[in-house]
Structure 1
Amino acid sequence: MSAIALYDRLTPDFDRRVANAVAVLKQAAAEHPGKVVQATSLGAEDMVLTDLIAKHQIGIAIGTLETGKLHAETVALIPRIEERYGLKVEVYRPEADAVIHFVKNHGEKAMYESIDLRKGCCGIRKLEPLSRMLSARTAWVTGLRREQSNNRGDVPFSEPDDKGRIKFSPLADWTWNDVWHYIAANNVPYNPLHDEFMPSIGCAPCTRAIAVGEDFRAGRWWWEDEKAKECGLHVHGAEEAAVSMIGDRK
């Protein structure tokens, strides 16, 4: 069964939440002209945001992290976005030498060995490239929603990050049903892995399908304690630590 068939539901005040999301995106572009990027994971929420940005011709760049460990289905969305919306997607990849060094010392399956090694992998493949994406920006847009996890239960529509940039989360008050109702109503392209019970999709070694009744992010780093389940993209101080770690190895 498709994700649309499973999750598409029109909920009360949906139109209001869409209008508010557009207003937040326009606010981001107006307050940070030429200096704001959508950091898209290419997941369902971020595809909604890209669609809104394109549809309303909002001046926000689109950028993504190609970690070298993404599913082929995820990577395939990059040219689909460019063809569908006529928008250039900025693609940021990890530094090759850092990846080679990490794999040589810890192996291809290091993420399963310890939380520190998993976070080290995330640092090299995600956080350091993110720092390059954001280096010339004063704001960024994310697909964070309060419903996603307990750790994200109080996500605001905007807040400063630990570098003084403003992080906008226009879908903070959206439900999973809202996301899929928008996708269905607007024929938004999405990752087919969502149809295979993967609501939250990251790197291939760190993502699995969830079972009925499991939490939204249960398929991410499923071998770890629930409290550890963040890659660091939305954790204060993590970006700087990742850049420092790579710098120490040069």
Structure 2
Amino acid sequence: MASAISISGNALSSRSLPLKEFRAAQIGPVVQVSAGRRSRRWAVRAVEPTRMAPAAATAEPPVAEADYEKLAAELERASPLEIMDRALDMFGDGIAIAFRVGAEDVALIEYAKLTGRPFRVFSLDTGRLNPETYKFFDTVEKRYDIHIEYMFPEADEVQALVRSKGLFSFYEDGHQECCRVRKVRPLRKALRGLKAWITGQRKDQSPGTRAHIPIVQVDPSFEGVGGGPGSLIKWNPVANVDGKDVWNFLRTMDVPVNSLHSQGYVSIGCEPCTRPVLPGQHEREGRWWWEDAKAKECGLHKGNISQEAQKAGVNGNGTTSINSVNGTHDIFESQAIVNLSRPGIENLLKLENRKEAWLVVLYAPWCRFCQAMESSYIELAEKLSGSGIKVGKFQADGDRKPFAQQELQLGSFPTILFFPKHASRPIKYPSEKRDADSLLEFISFLQ
């Protein structure tokens, strides 16, 4: 490994910068790093120590929510180091790096260290990771002198899943349910304590779901502190970086990596669902290899799936689910949720003394706010199973919309209604907080 790298630009004349100084470099005037035949801006920006300005003098006020699209465009050609510095500067202790033990994730930690700013790291321990991954956690903590904030699935939920379906049900009915219990719900809890999070997503990782991810965005799937749409910001500093360039950066900086990479693993997840890829295979083909290689998301980044892909019937499980109303991809798919037809919800409206109370969401499959609450609503339905409260869904777009507006108080999607046992009219949920706990609290006041 070379002990120095060549840096050129206005700030520094062409010369070799010792690796020790390179590691300590902070963001400054634009410089370029030579990477093979072409020059890339992504790898690093540097200034000499004597030219560094105090952090307080360069700090900028947080960008308003409405400006995130503008900010994404502004940072489209920025280096990951500049993007990382901007994210940490804007959100401070309210932002954390999601460490999923792959090459991109440890690169994020290295970039965070190079900014010189304090940073937080969290990771999801599903209970089914490879031994090499657990060893890598320890290596990273010691290398960067940090304590990773581990999140775990709820023991009773894992127990219920395994007892009812066994240890390997995902090979038969897809990985979505297991991932929801072991990954999505723990992540949802972690993100509720944050204002923003940082991921290692790259555009070239998954041809069907990540080709258009922005540098920064209002998270389309999860909620942060305060709850409601727009309460969480998602940063993707290496979105525009090729996989090989990530590896060039790691080798140059002598960054430790998961030992599974040397065994042919490129994208690393849980042990039963991950295997090495063969030469010529795409890196995501090693994940959930029994499913469609073009649409592989566990639910952590479900918002990547475009409306066009959803209308084509592709979901985060790599399978299809077609709605009978208009032929589009459906959502809120769970055995715990009753799919109400037009006559079904009309009958529910007519009943004045119901045997059971009902909670019903009026939704449109294409609505991003409906998509964002899908996991929470399924979680709620499973918690209420056997409680005497039925959970249902009614697709209220298209030719059903006028009926829903006139008879079901539909204002915008999603609209959530509670039908008590002894009341003729449903009660509309008034809040934009659509997590399972908030909905449970709403129900408890009305029983």
TM-score, L = length of structure 1: 0.90
1:245 Cα deviation from its structure 2 partner: 3.6
Contact 1:156 1:172 in 2 (8 A): yes
1:43 corresponds to which residue? Answer: 102
1:14 corresponds to which residue? Answer: 40
1:138-190 Cα distance to aligned partner (Å, 9 max, x none)? 11100011111212111211111123211111111111111111111111111
1:119 corresponds to which residue? Answer: 176
CA distance in 1, matches of 2:120, 2:35: 29
1:100-121 Cα distance to aligned partner (Å, 9 max, x none)? 0000011100110112xx1010
TM-score, L = length of structure 2: 0.51
Contact 2:284 2:293 in 1 (8 A): no
CA RMSD of aligned residues (A): 1.9
Q: What is the number of equivalent residue pairs in this alignment?
A: 240
Amino acid at match of 1:242: S
Greater shift in the superposed pair: 102-111 or 235-244 = 235-244
Paired residue for 2:201, among 130, 144, 161? 144
1:244 Cα deviation from its structure 2 partner: 4.0
Amino acid at match of 1:18: V
CA distance in 2, matches of 1:154, 1:173: 10
**For residues 91 and 30 of structure 1, do their structure 2 counterparts lie closer, same or farther at Cα, with a shift above 3 Å needed?**
same
The alignment-based identity, stated in percent, is 34
Paired residue for 1:242, among 358, 375, 388? 375
1:31 corresponds to which residue? Answer: 90
1:63 Cα deviation from its structure 2 partner: 0.4
Contact 1:123 1:239 in 2 (8 A): no
Structure 1: gaps (5+ residues): 1-8
2:397 corresponds to which residue? Answer: none
Is residue 214 from structure 1 mapped to residue 214 from structure 2 by the alignment? Answer: no
1:25 Cα deviation from its structure 2 partner: 0.9
Partner of 1:13: helix, strand, or coil? strand
2:351 corresponds to which residue? Answer: none
The within-5 A match list for 1:78-227 is 78-115=137-174, 118-150=175-207, 151-162=209-220, 163=223, 164=230, 165-227=232-294
Amino acid at match of 1:13: S
1:88 Cα deviation from its structure 2 partner: 1.3
Amino acid at match of 1:10: A
Structure with greater Cα Rg = 2
Q: Is the strand fraction higher in 1 or 2?
A: 2
Task: Kindly report structure 1 stretches of 4+ aligned residues shifted beyond 6 Å.
Answer: none
2:326 corresponds to which residue? Answer: none
Partner of 2:97: helix, strand, or coil? strand
**For residues 134 and 41 of structure 1, do their structure 2 counterparts lie closer, same or farther at Cα, with a shift above 3 Å needed?**
same
2:338 corresponds to which residue? Answer: none
Structure 2: gaps (5+ residues): 1-33, 46-78, 224-229, 304-369, 385-447
CA distance in 2, matches of 1:240, 1:68: 25
Q: Is the helix fraction higher in 1 or 2?
A: 1
Partner of 2:240: helix, strand, or coil? coil
Contact 1:232 1:239 in 2 (8 A): no
